[in-house]
Amino acid sequence: MYIHVLGSGAGGGFPQWNCNCENCKGVRAGTIKATPRTQSSIAVSANGSDWILFNASPDIKRQLDDFTVIQPARHVRDTAITAIVITDAQIDHVTGLLTLREHNKPWDIYCTDAVKGDLTTGFPVFNILGHFRGINHHEVATDQTPFSIPTAEGIEFTAVPLLSNAPPYSPHRGNTVPGDNIGMNIKDTRSGKSLFYAPGLGVAEPHVLEYMRNADVILVDGTVWTDDEMSKEGISDKRASEMGHLDQSSDGGIMSILNAMEKPRKILIHINNTNPILNEESSQRATLNKAKIELAYDGMDIEL
């Protein structure tokens, strides 16, 4: 199984277009050692030729341009993307679907009914795509029953319901229902190895911890270092936990959770532009390095 990180940043990417926090200002000026990142998305393949896209960020055009195997050029219009899985209805995970409207047939899109509801009402992306080639919606259940995708033979997918938050345009905002946010356990049945992918995670419930412990690789929410990070920067008065993200440094945060796990390779993804771990020479980054917790980066490849 092949995993390619298309984008590793949180909403807005890094640097964010209108942000002058220490990180964004520093990476533009070259005064900090840091790597720019586009907004979070991955692609998964069983054979290296047919790819399942996980989330479609606003940066999708640039991401696909940078990943040449996904444009095999067998026909006048072509792509190696054979299906799309959406983990939540957030803007930074679905806006790229509009860029993909020029597909030559309806997209096979896998998502929960809760996400489908948000993408036909509050943010009606699916309705808009209906004026082009449209979509074939495949319901993703939240009862942790494994499912398959025909173009990913040998890969088993399991949606894992997460406690996070729904988008601001969702009727479930602040009162989430199962399916508003999912992680995905992705298992190669041939090798027996698995990836647990969760770009948004507000609470690490027991069933989530079990998937994480048993995975060979974890790609998990690395949005913020502290819960009050954005308020410290004067950007927002909301805490990360209110937006559905678990911080890294607190007691019970992502870092302490990962430190308790021996088996998996541990990688953070969906990293916000304010997070000090983006500065490769920061003390926070040194703490992660010591704990052997990696940061995903655009173009990162993983093979299981």
Angle at 242 between CA 288 and CA 231, to 5 degrees: 70
Average pLDDT over residues 139-163: 97
> Right CATH number for 2-14+21-298 from 3.60.15.10, 2.60.120.10, 3.40.50.1220, 1.20.1250.20?
3.60.15.10
Q: DSSP characters for 136-177?
A: EEEEPPSS---B--TTSTTEEEEEEE-B----TTSTTTTS--
Give me the sheet containing 51-54, strands edge to edge. Answer: 135-139, 107-111, 81-85, 51-54, 41-45, 2-7, 301-303
With 80 as the cut, is the pLDDT of residue 238 above it?
A: no
Q: What is the pLDDT of residue 47?
A: 97
Task: Please state the domain extents for the chain.
Answer: 2-14+21-298
Average pLDDT of the chain, as a whole number: 95
Question: What single-letter amino acid sits at 273?
Answer: N
Buried residues in 247-264 as b, exposed as e (16+ CB within 10 A): bbbeeebbbebbeeeeeb
Number of neighbouring beta carbons within 10 Å of residue 15: 21
For the ranges 62-66, 231-235, 237-241, the maximum mean pLDDT occurs at 62-66
**C-alpha 176: how far from its chain's center?**
19
pLDDT digits 0-9 by tens, 6-48? 999 999 999 999 999 999 999 999 999 999 999 999 999 999 9
**Pair 44, 51: CB distance under 8 Å:** yes
Q: What is the pLDDT of residue 230?
A: 72
Q: Give the Cα separation of 162 and 178 in Å (integer).
A: 8
With 80 as the cut, is the pLDDT of residue 170 above it?
A: yes
Written as six digits, the tokens of 44 are: 């998964």
Q: Give the Cα separation of 151 and 238 in Å (integer).
A: 41
pLDDT digits 0-9 by tens, 97-119? 999 999 999 999 999 999 999 99
| Length in residues, the chain | 304
Q: Which residues contact 269 (CB under 8 A, 6 or more apart)?
A: 5, 8, 40, 42, 197, 199, 219, 220, 221, 222, 296
Q: Which of 97-106, 120-129, 225-234, 248-257 has the lowest mean pLDDT?
A: 225-234
Residue 107 pairs with which residues in a beta bridge?
135
Written as six digits, the tokens of 62 are: 């640039």
Residue 165: pLDDT band (50, 70, 90) is: confident
Average pLDDT over residues 278-296: 98
With 70 as the cut, is the pLDDT of residue 134 above it?
A: yes
